[in-house]
Structure 1
C-alpha cells in the first residue's frame, strides 16, 4: 500500500481537498494559505511535532501543501521537531519515532525539503538528574520545575540555532483556539497586523504560524482519518497519511487512553503544558492521577503497570503530610527555610518549615527500583531505556558533591552492579583520597568533639578541591559559607535561630532605647537653653526699666 501511495501526488486528492469543509472553509483554502505563506519569503519553517492529533494534522496539511507546489518552488527548509523529555510515555515515544522516520523517508521520495529532528534536554537538566541527582521534589502545580528545563529549553535552543543560521524562522504549531483559550489569547496579543503570523513571546526573530487555529477536534480527526478516501480506484484506505504512514494507531492510542487533550510542543511558558487527561511524561506528578496511562493499562498495555506504580510513589511524596518524611529539613543552600504567614512575623517554633531536597537514602532506593523496572521490562522482551548512562554518571557526581549529604560511600556504582551484575565505565577521581572508612572515622571523631561530621566533610572537600593551587583565592569566603550553614538536627537549628532572633530583638530594643535617650537629652538641652534665654531676656528688660 505504501508503494502505491508514494506514486501519487496532490492531484489524486483534489476531490477531498475541494469538497471537504473545515471550520466552514474548504480544505483547499487552507492548503493555498500554507503555500502562499511558504512562498512569501526565505524564512525556513520549524514545525512543532508532539505526536498528538493536532501536530499530526499540521504536518499533514503542510505536507499536502508542499506536494502541490512545483519542485522549483520548494526552496525553503521545513524542520519537523519533536521534543523527547526522556521520560515520555513509552508507547507514545515509539509512535513518535516511527512517524518521524516515515515523514522524512516520504519527504525524500517526494523530493520535499522536509527533515525530522528530535531534541532532548541537556544531561544536567533531565528529570532524573534533577530528581534523583539533586533531590528536587517531584513536580507539582506550585513547583513545576520540569517544563522549562525539559521542554522549553531544548526547543528554544533548536530555534535559536536556526535563527543564527537563517536570521529569522517561522515556527508552525498545531495550536487551536478551542483546545487552549490561554494560548489563543497569547498568540492574538502578539499577532502582527495584516498578517497570519505572530511574534514569538520570548525569542527574537522567531514568528508563530498556527494554520489550524480555527479548527475543532472533529476537523482534526477528519483530516487524519479520511484525507485520501476520494483517491482514484480506491487505492487508498482511510487513515493513510501522505508520507505513507497510517494514523489508525494514533486514533487507537487516543481511544485506549481516553485522552481528551495532549501535551503540545512547548515553546515558551505561555504554552499549556498538558491537558487534564493527556499524553506526556509517564513520571508526571502535576496531575493527581494519570488517567491516560491508567486507561492504556486497562486496554492491553498492562506491562506499563510498574511505571504507573513508580509514578504514584513519586506523587505520594508530594502530599504535604509526607514531605517531612522524604525531604531533608535543609535546603540545598545548607540553610533551614521557613514560610512566614505575615511579613516580619516573629520567628518561633510554630512557623511553617519549608523542606529541602529528598534525602539521599530515598534517592538511592528509587534509583535501584527504576533500574530494576528497566531490567525486568527488557527481560520481558521490551526494548526500553528508562534512564541513560550519561544521566547515571551525572547523578553519581551530584551525589558525591551533594551540599548536605556528600556520598563518600560512592554508592551508585554498587547499586548499578547489584541490579545489572556488571559495571559501567565509571570515572575515577584521582584527587579524592577519602572513602567510606574515612567517613566512618570522621563520624566517630566528630562525636567526641561535639561537631557535625557533615560540616567537617565539607571543609575537607573544600581543602581537597583547592589542593595544588598556587593562589587559594576566595578560600576564606568559601570557608565562611560552610561555617554559616545550619548544622545539627532540625530542633537544634530551631533553638539556635530562636536564640539569635531573641538576641537580635534585644539589640534592636537597646538601639531604640539609646536613640530615645539621645533624643530626650537633646530635647532637655533645648528646653534648658530656651529657659536660660527667657531669664536673660527678663533680666534685660528689668534693667532697662
Structure 2
C-alpha cells in the first residue's frame, strides 16, 4: 500500500509553488532590509493584499525562513466601514495571532472623526474624488500614523513598517511607485523601500516602509489566500472568507478593489456587488442604498452656501466665493434615520437566517451624532446662518466683483 504524496511546500525544489519566484523575491526583500531594523510593524487593512502580506510574513517567521526581530507589532486599521466578510475574516485572524502571541493593535479614528460621525454629527459632506477626498487620510492614515508614533515612544531604534502595497492595484498608486522605486537604495525586484513615512513628519528618521509583495500579481495573492494560507503547514489562516469580498471563484476575473460599504468615491460598488451575489451574503443587499444617501446629501438643498464676498482673516478674498458647505441639520437627521433603517433591515434578516449582523453605526456613535446636532455643531468657518445652497443669490467672482441676480 502506497502512502499519499506529501503536501508540497514553498521551498522544496520541483514541489515549490508555481509562483515561487514571486515568494522568493519577497523573502529576499525581507532578508535585505529586515535585519537593519530591530522592530517590525505590519500595517494591515484586512484586504487581500495586506492579509496576504501579513500571513506570509508570519509563516516565514514561523518556519525560520526569516530571522525574528526584537519586536513585531501588527496594526489593524479598523475604519468601521469594512465589508462584512472582511471584518469577520479579520476578527478570526486576530484571534489566531493572539494564540501565537503576536501583538495586534486595533487602530481606529477618534470618535468625532469616524466616517459617519464626521458627516452626520459635524456636518461635513461625504467625500468626493475632486475637491473633498478626506476619508482615507482621516479614518486610516492619521490614526495609523498616531499609533506608530505612540509605539515608537516605547521603543529604542527604528521600526520597519511592512505594507501590502502592490503594483497594479491602482493606477494612481502605480504612479507614486514609479516615481519612488529607486528611493533609499532599493533595488528593482526587492520591494518598495523608503526610509520616510508620508504624512508622518514627527517620526521621520526612525521609520522605514517596505512593500515586499510589490511585484505580486493578483493571481499570486489569490492563490496564497485561497489555497495555501488556510493549510495547516502554512499557518492554517482564516483567509477563505475573503473570497466572498472578491467574487469567490471569479475573483481573478473580477479583480475588484474593496472599499467602504457604499463607498462614495467608487463609481460602482463592485466588491459589494460580488458579496451580495452570493446566496450566503444576499441579505446584505440593503447596503446598496447607502451610496444614494450620500449622493442626496451632496445636493444643494441639503447644504449651506457662503453668500456674498467671503473675507479672510488676513483681509483677502476667498478664492472660491459662494462655495457650498456643510449639511443642514434636517439633512443629517434624515440620513441618520435612513442609515439606521438599512442597518435594522439587515440585522432583522440576519437574525432570521442565523447569519452575522452588521455594525454600521453603534450606540456610542449614534448618541454622539445626536449630541453634536443638538449642540448646533458646524465645521470650522461656518456658523449655520448661511443660506441653503439652492437659494438664488447674486453671483460673486474670485476677484470680488458681483453679478446681480436678475429676477
Q: 45, 53, 57: which is aligned to 1:58?
A: 53
Decide whether the 8 Å contact of 1:329 with 1:336 is kept in 2: no
**1:251-330 equivalences in 2 (<5 Å):** 251-256=243-248, 277-300=256-279, 301-318=281-298, 323-330=299-306
Which whole-Å deviations, capped at 9, do the CAs of 1:191-232 have from their partners, x for residues lacking one? 33578631223331210112122222222233334448xxxx
Separation in 1 of the partners of 2:390 and 2:216?
A: 59
Partner of 2:106: 118
Which segments of 5 or more consecutive residues in structure 2 lack a partner in the other structure?
1-6, 311-315, 403-407
Aligned to 2:344: 375
Q: Pick 1 or 2: higher relative contact order, CA cutoff 8 A, min separation 6.
A: 2
Contact preservation (8 Å) 1:487, 1:493: no
Query: How many angstroms apart in 2 are the aligned matches of 1:227 and 1:402?
Result: 53
**TM-score normalised to structure 2 length:** 0.76
The 2-side partners of 1:210 and 1:217 are apart by: 15
Contact 2:128–2:264 under 8 Å retained in 1: yes
CA distance in 2, matches of 1:502, 1:37: 58
Instruction: Pick the aligned partner of 2:120 from 128, 132, 155.
Output: 132
Q: CA 1:403 to 1:14, structure 2 compared with 1: closer, same or farther past 3 Å? A: closer
How far 1:84 sits from its partner (Å)?
1.1
CA distance in 1, matches of 2:325, 2:367: 23
- Tell me the secondary structure at the aligned position of residue 185 of structure 2: coil
Report which of the two structures shows the higher radius of gyration computed on alpha carbons: 1
Deviation at 1:252, TM superposition (A): 4.2
Cα offset, 1:132, TM superposition: 0.7
- The 8 Å contact of residues 17 and 28 in structure 1, kept in 2 or not, is answered as no
- CA-CA distance at 1:383 after TM superposition: 2.8
| 1:71-86 aligned within 5 A | 74-86=68-80
Query: For 1:386-535, what aligned pairs fall within 5 Å after superposition?
Result: 386-402=360-376, 494=393
What's the offset of the Cα at 1:81? 1.8
State how far apart, in whole Å, the 2-side matches of 1:261 and 1:402 are: 48
Higher helix share: 1
Any stretches of 5+ residues in structure 1 without a counterpart?
A: 1-9, 109-113, 229-237, 263-274, 339-343, 346-350, 406-480, 504-545
Match of 1:171 among 156, 161, 173: 161
Q: CA deviation at 1:13?
A: 5.4
Deviation string for 1:83-132 (max 9, x for gaps)?
A: 11112222221121112222332x23xxxxx3222211111111111111
Indicate if the aligned counterparts of 1:258 and 1:292 stay in contact, CA closer than 8 A.
Answer: no
* CA deviation profile, 1:273-312 (whole Å, cap 9, x unmatched): xx9x421210311122212212322222222122211322
Count of residue correspondences = 367
State the TM-score, normalized to the length of structure 1.
Answer: 0.58
The whole-number CA distance in structure 2 between the counterparts of 1:12 and 1:125 is: 45
Aligned counterpart for 1:245 among listed residues 220, 232, 237: 237
CA distance in 2, matches of 1:260, 1:356: 41
- Take 1:26 and 1:259, find their aligned partners in 2: how far apart are those partners? 20
